Structure 1
Amino acid sequence: MELQENFDLLFRSFYEHNPDAIFLLNTSGDLVHSNEIFPKLFGYSAVSEVRTVESMLPLNKIPLYKKAFYDSLTHNPQNIDIEFIHKNGHTLNINLTMIPTDLDKNFKGIIGIAKDISNFKKAENLNKYLASYDSLTELPNRRHFVENLDKHLIISRTLNQKLAIMYLDLDRFKYINDTLGHAIGDKLLEQISKRLQICVGGDVLVARIVGDEFGILLPNLQIDQIIEYSKTIIKALEEPFYIEKYHLFVTTCIGISVYPNDGEDSQSLLKNASSAVNRAKEMGNNNYQVFTSSMNAQTYKIFSLESSLRYAIEQNELEMYYQAKVSTKTNQIIGAEALIRWNHPEWGILTPDEFIPLAEETGIITEIGKWVTHTVCLQNKAWQDANLPAIPISINLSANRFLEKNLIIDIKKVLEETNLDPSYLEIEITETSLLENEKHILSILDELRSIGIKIAMDDFGTGYSSLSTLRQFKDQIDTLKIDRTFIQNLSQSDKYDMNFFTNMIIQLSQHLNMDVVAEGVETSEQLEILHKYNCGTIQGFIFSKPIPADQFETLLMQDTLEPIENIDSSEEVPFEDQREFFRVNLEFPLSANMTLIRIRGKKVEIGNTLVLIEDIGLGGLRFLSDIKLATNQDIILEFETEILGNMIKFYGSIVWMKSVKSNIFQYGIKFAMDENERSLLTQLLNKFAILLRKSPLLPECSFIKVDRYNFFKQKEKNKKTE
């Protein structure tokens, strides 16, 4: 009896003086009794205000509680962490223990012990947060970034998708941090973090890797989209940061690596992105570099050009070519068009369509435009001072140039510096450019003409509403240049009605007292038709290709030009004329994977692009591609194709090229191989040639049956839908 009384006292003391909330539940789950701590813990004045524990729980936690309750009734004590709702509405984290009890014959139920662990949970969550997030910027840290990268790699592998990471390293942060102090540096990092998140959007993971280095995870994107992100970030970070009384400027270098080309695990991708950052820094501040195996030949070329374009002027790589405009009546040179070329050390002589769009994208077009204007005016004045025929020379201006604030001032300054009469400078602007910002361009054209500069509308006939454009700008235009698409289809048969349209444009220009120039004239037939229609001026290969200044000077000395009968559009002497070995001509071309492997002795690792091999010999091969490549023996290409069940690789350099259709080029490759390799190739090609005599299509060969030119059109369509 005494033992029972002691036990009751012990239980009462445990129940009433326990720092945790103790309560009793009957088998129906009703709250029967509790100690004083229970109502205080949950914000009630008395336990009678609460009927059941369930009424104090969030809806999504009730199933967890019910399971624990019923398990306890089966004599299985339970311990769970669960959220309770305080009377005031805030959440409490509770460690709940439920123990089955049988106090006497009249009561069976559950003893509950509720321990408030809210502070512990907060500390635990804080530790988890600090383990995965940067406390300063509140961005994910390196650990969190790698964990997410690993997860996305599994998804990309499963769905066969690309995944990219961008690694950013700020250029001037250490200087700012050391000069202005860590407090300013910290605020700068916070602002940079927010700006990066705005650039890429809320769905993209941005992390602070360490110090002034950041990582960005970009799943399921193509390389061109990734490059656009890079440009956006670089441009955004160029804007000043306003911190306290300071206007701070920073730039960044970005390294990019892409799964699976540059690695199949997080470690490899991070390492290669870091390597790309280092290469970007070597190129100068505010730059990005893609780890090169992510690119095929075309993207590598564009990337290479963009990286080196900013140095083209200072390294004297730009050059002006001149194409004569010839009178149809006298064959005299009465003008010329100045056309820029870029003598790139790796890619050879590049035409404007290969790099001017890049210049416009990167903002370098203004600097190049000024250089062109000054160079052409200076050269024209030099020819006049040498007593050569004085002719107007035209330069091309894009719509973007017309938006430059100081365009007129800059042109006036060049004319003054070179002492060139303005009447010898002509500005060419395309019809589509005129329509982009009509009112502003109209006022600029008026100013240019008031100086004495002539205006020519280039590519007339290609706009959406040519006649309407002409009506709007007739008082600002001195010359119409008929687009080459009309000229190319001129013929005595007039199959496409181009003779009619061309004649109509010529008559229209004469009615409006405008000069007219037919550009792209290449044949005697085209020249004869244009002469019949009284077209005043001819520009095209029929008289001269665009040529360097020294060669054009020789033409000026001649004063008149005669039509050229046989026009060769290739840029090099065809390699076929120099063959030492037989060739296997292919009725159906072989598809092959082509990649660049070495440029000027430097190893390059990039992806493949599809080309078509038209013939193969022991000395080389001929292939078609939709990529314009350089005739440069310092660029070594690799070709891989299947012949008679063998995957064969060829290595060599381009020794000639020519354009065979719009954006399709034909190349001659000279192999780089030793005698042993040539001997093995001889055996294969002999067998190949013999079998081809029986059938032009053989099994276990990479032949394509579709038209070779349609092959590239389809390839382009597929690229757009990827």
Structure 2
Amino acid sequence: MNQPIYHVLVIECQNFRRTMILDTPVYSIGRGPKSSIVIPSKKISRHHASLVRRRDVNNNLSYWILDGDLQGNRSTNGIFVNDKKCFIHSLKTGDIIQIALEYSLTYKILEELKEIEELKKDDFETQNTVTSSETSTGANKFKVSGISSEQNMMLNKDKLISLSELTNNPVIEIDWSGNITFINAAATETFKYIHQAKLDHPLLADLTTNSESKVGGSFIREVKIGSQIFKQYIQYLPDTKLIRSYILNDSKEKKFEAAQQDISQRYSAVIQQAAEGILLVDAATKSVMEANNAYCNLLGYTTAEILGLTIYDLVAEDPEIIEQQLQQIQAEKVSFVWESYHRHQDEYLIKVEVNVSLIAYEQEKIFCFAVRDITNRKFREEKTSSENIYDPVTSLPNKTLFIEQLATATANAQRNEQLMAIIAIEINQFDQLKESLSDGTANELLKDFAQRLKTCFRAGDTVARPEDYKFIALLPQVRNIKNIAKIAQRILAKLEQPFEVENRQIYLSKNIGIAIYPEDGAEPHILLKKAQTALAQSQDLGENNYQFYSQPINQETAKVLRLESMLHKALEQEQFFLVYQPQVNVTKAKIVGVEALLRWQHPEIGLVSPSQFVPLAEETGLIIPMSEWVLKTACNQSKIWQQAGLSPMSISVNLSQRQFQQPNLVSMVQEILEQTYLEPHLLELEITETTIMENLKLARKRIGDLQKLGVSICMDNFGIGNSGLGYLTEFSFHTLKIDRSLIKNLAHNPQNQAIISAAIALGSNLKMRVVIEGVETLEQLELVRNLQCEEIQGYFFSPPLSVENTTNLLTSPISIS
């Protein structure tokens, strides 16, 4: 069962704060009475902003905020998100929306209802200046009234001047009835629940008792709140019947004497360990409180220098690991001993053994580190250890070390949700061969085999020799199963060449078995066992081949590798062709452009789906010559249609991520336009948000250079992922193409309708063409018309057509019913 996620909006102004849960697809914000969230301020438009719920490719929900309504009408004063004015913004937790300067709306994504309850504890509304009510139209509609600028000017001018000088310390003012009339930011931050507690709060208690008898008086008192002591300066103001308090934190002064006494206690607690390096660290801040001479000398610091550091500066480990260890000590209240590296002032590392314990004095907690240098001992241990974990003949890791690395790699693969592989390799009939060789020669042969085997793997892979003539390799990270198969093929190819020993050539036959995490198992011992089973399956099929443990993987891998081999020949044998899908203006009943789409017709297996061959082309780099062929063929065909007397129209071509990154892309496009004599503005290149995000700096330059050529650029697949909201204004796209996924079940999906409506309004404001792709039914067409989108692409009007059929369509009158 999935953990519920709550979308929350906190709305506040000077005298008002309200927390609301967002649970419907669309909200309107404005001073108009029909708005979902009504804010009756003259600085706010009737339809000031819209909140639209959206779902990304990972099925996560969030909200857009859009300036104005969903018909494209903008607000008068605009919206600001995180202090930046914007038209549309994809909200992230913590984003702050400012409306008319007076109102702040904070968007939060929370996982626990208790977090919402905590937020609601800080909600308030000041009597006579703010009213808030939930109307009969539902819980998601309410009215907000805030203090006006005129009312704000009526505040006591002298008070504002005097209080402005004390913003770093809490200042609170109440009237003689106990109502809070002023509280500054420091007071709100320090005393979070004072609004709820009111006169029951320790700072306000007894202040209004006989206030009239204290007219013009003032006094000072100490107030203890929790473990902190505050000094409160209180002044009674007769003219305005107000009581003003200035509050200073007096805790440090009161604790000074106790702190002096603690110093001697700390030393007495650690005196028995004084011969070793001693380090005292504040458990809360992790800053160094004290260090003895032995520790300072070990790391090359003076006492004054080390007191300015934290434990993270001294211990050469990941801060998260240090934090976890210290939290465990604090929770279990026991001493821990471990080995780690501490960092010398000259940046080299010292191996130490550390005994850490927790010392507690009243409210203060201190970690005591007893540190001992073990550099020389570890050198001797590691020398002995290396002799125990490496194979003496090949210098490869032995089975012990391999098992350790396999356990670590399995844990990492599980945490990162990635593929991992184990490859078992065995030399066939090596025992018989060994009988014809001396022991030294047999070992030299194994050593040569191991060295050649290592060259087949990547830098992060591990190759080990667990026993005799058996080897095993660990691939801790692999992108896909096809790449594992290619490594197996490389092993077979490299080890196919003979080995030179005793002035003769020896050919070694071998077999390979492969197990994959997580398909074949999630535990190291299971993966090892299945790799050996796959090796046995490989031997059953004959020497010099490889097998995966899973038979479906064997079959699928063979199919993919065969397809890749055929793909290399497809371009030179002219097996590719283009089809064209028209883009139609439904208002004018006119074809305004076509998109060129690549297809592959293989002479043996027939039509191959783009979803099968395009990813392969991207991986192998074949997408580069293929994309160039597509671009040249499409531009040439567009010119042919013009020469046949057809009206000029745009032709769209998809740019792959790899093609977009090619250094010669712009010059290649320019050369094709010159060769085909096609006007640049008739060529439209479609780019996805993923392509832009891969390298934003490169994208700025590439798109800018292409636009200088006069080529049109289209943002493709809009509405999925983060939807490229920021990119739309930055890159000045010519066309916005709304992804087909938003059209499915559109009639029953008001959320997608709202997203499309917002996108159309956005496109209109930015002077872009907006094309909705994937329109397949009359019902979808009518909905698109109602949303005021003029251009569509999809099977309702026409599927992708051959050149001949596209030509016939372009020369015939069209009808959209």
Q: Report the TM range for the smaller structure's normalisation.
A: 0.3 to 0.5
TM-score normalised by the chain length of structure 1: 0.44
Instruction: Looking at secondary structure, tell me which structure has more helix per residue.
Output: 1
Determine which structure has more spread, i.e. the larger CA radius of gyration.
1
